[in-house]
Structure 1
Amino acid sequence: MDFRGSDAPSGVDVLADSVATAVKVVIVGGFGAGKTTLVGSVSEIRPLTTEETMTRAGEEVDDVAGVERKTVTTVAMDFGRISINDELVLYLFGTPGQQRFWFLWNGLFEGALGAVVLVDTRRLEVSFDVIGRLEERGVPFVVAVNAFPDSPGHPVEELRGALDLPDEVPIVLCDARSRESSRDVLLALMRYLYSLTS
């Protein structure tokens, strides 16, 4: 498959006339899981981000355990785009991770074909509510385990059990900083969505 680079000249922001299908995909996960990083690494256009500096006031409402060095946070959404081939384009919408911003999810999920749940094994428990919300909405998803340098490694089946996932939900390992790795996560989601229609 042909993927256009995210460092392409600004003239590539216009969609090709050959594009026949555009798919909305939502990137979700706990606070600090790497959602903004994934959207930014894979987007062929300059991504839109709504990151703001974290303040002391936020410390009282946001659980920063495990992500103490985080200095900015998404307050509305991230947006990016990737062309899978000449006919298929994915529009990527990254959600904020903190529960206080979850009211925004309603609009972000409208019309979404599927989702990627980005998981940080250092803070696995913050993924439970995220996955629960997707299951309640009936949104198909894949789980992408983001590799942080100090993340504990676990076998996929242990993660599946800890997250209480059915066997058919794909779990993939990724590095959200890598364009190729992030692209592979999106391809895993597309393959999974295709399998659901078969």
Structure 2
Amino acid sequence: MDFAGCETDGEPVQEWQKDLSRAPLSTKIVVAGGFGVGKTTFVRRVSEIEPLETEALMTRASEETDDLTATPDKVTTTVAMDFGRITLAPDLVLYVFGTPGQERFWFMWDDLTRGAIGAVVMADTRRLEDCFPALDYFETSRLPYIVAVNHFEGTPLYAAEDVREALSVPAQVPVVIMDAREKSAVTDALLCLVTHALDAAPA
């Protein structure tokens, strides 16, 4: 098959894409955490395709369930999942699935995490307790994970080791400080997870 002159979304096909013997390895990762921690922003910022988002407007019915104290400007919430894709290397494509944060949607986590190599657990230092369910879930399921602290503008900046101690995260689990609005920071977090997952894989 002749790939000469082919383009994908307006971009020239790379040399490695023309080699049918080097099909990229695709793998799945999950982004989890509490309500309003930045999961949708994380997926949106890094995805090289138009991300699939299942955002719905928040209503008065959710006021007693969803605490908006730390995110007063939030008007939508994920009700199923976010989905995006990023090519980290010529032979590595990540499919990124963001989980819904509210407890009433946790029943979907088993399906979303099936087949994943690892997870990014996002945390907000203003409400660290919100990420405990995700930490417990991945500890119990033995799925490799990292903790990504989403540093919101105007909030105190804590050292990674201080967050580790506050969350009682094991020493072998990476903890990174990041800004989900910055593509490079999100990419670095994903690379950290992939490296950690590979290190944790059975020999």
In 2: Cα distance, 1:88 partner to 1:123 partner: 34
Pairing 1:51-66 to 2, within 5 Å after superposition: 51-66=55-70
Structure 2 equivalent of residue 130 of structure 1: 134
SS of match in other structure, 2:80: coil
Structure 2 equivalent of residue 188 of structure 1: 192
Structure 1 equivalent of residue 145 of structure 2: 141
Residue of structure 2 aligned with 1:73, choices 70, 77, 82: 77
Q: Computing the radius of gyration over CA atoms, which structure comes out larger, 1 or 2? A: 2
- Matched to 1:45, the amino acid is I
Give TM-score, length-normalised by structure 2: 0.88
RMSD (Å), alpha carbons: 1.9
In 1: Cα distance, 2:155 partner to 2:129 partner: 14
Pairing 1:111-122 to 2, within 5 Å after superposition: 111-122=115-126
Conserved? CA contact 1:116–1:142, under 8 Å: yes
In 2: Cα distance, 1:21 partner to 1:87 partner: 6
In 2: Cα distance, 1:11 partner to 1:48 partner: 20
- Residue by residue, what CA displacement relative to the aligned partner does 1:71-104 show, whole Å, maximum 9, x if unpaired? 0110000000001112110000000111111011
In 1: Cα distance, 2:23 partner to 2:189 partner: 21
Structure 2 equivalent of residue 10 of structure 1: 9
Q: Offset of 1:11 from its aligned partner?
A: 5.3
Q: Offset of 1:155 from its aligned partner?
A: 2.1
In 2: Cα distance, 1:180 partner to 1:19 partner: 25
SS of match in other structure, 1:50: strand
Give TM-score, length-normalised by structure 1: 0.90
In 2: Cα distance, 1:35 partner to 1:167 partner: 24
Conserved? CA contact 1:19–1:88, under 8 Å: no
Structure 1: 4+ residue segments shifted above 4 A: none
SS of match in other structure, 1:45: coil
- Matched to 1:147, the amino acid is H
In 1: Cα distance, 2:10 partner to 2:23 partner: 16
SS of match in other structure, 2:112: helix
Pairing 1:35-184 to 2, within 5 Å after superposition: 35-184=39-188
Select the structure that is richer in strand: 2
Structure 1 stretch 148-157 or stretch 167-176: which is displaced more? 148-157
Identical counterparts, % of pairs: 49
Structure 1 gap ranges (5+): 1-7
Aligned residues: 190
In 1: Cα distance, 2:190 partner to 2:23 partner: 18
Structure 2 equivalent of residue 4 of structure 1: none
- Residue by residue, what CA displacement relative to the aligned partner does 1:27-85 show, whole Å, maximum 9, x if unpaired? 00110110000100001111000001111111122222211221011000000000111
- Matched to 1:10, the amino acid is D
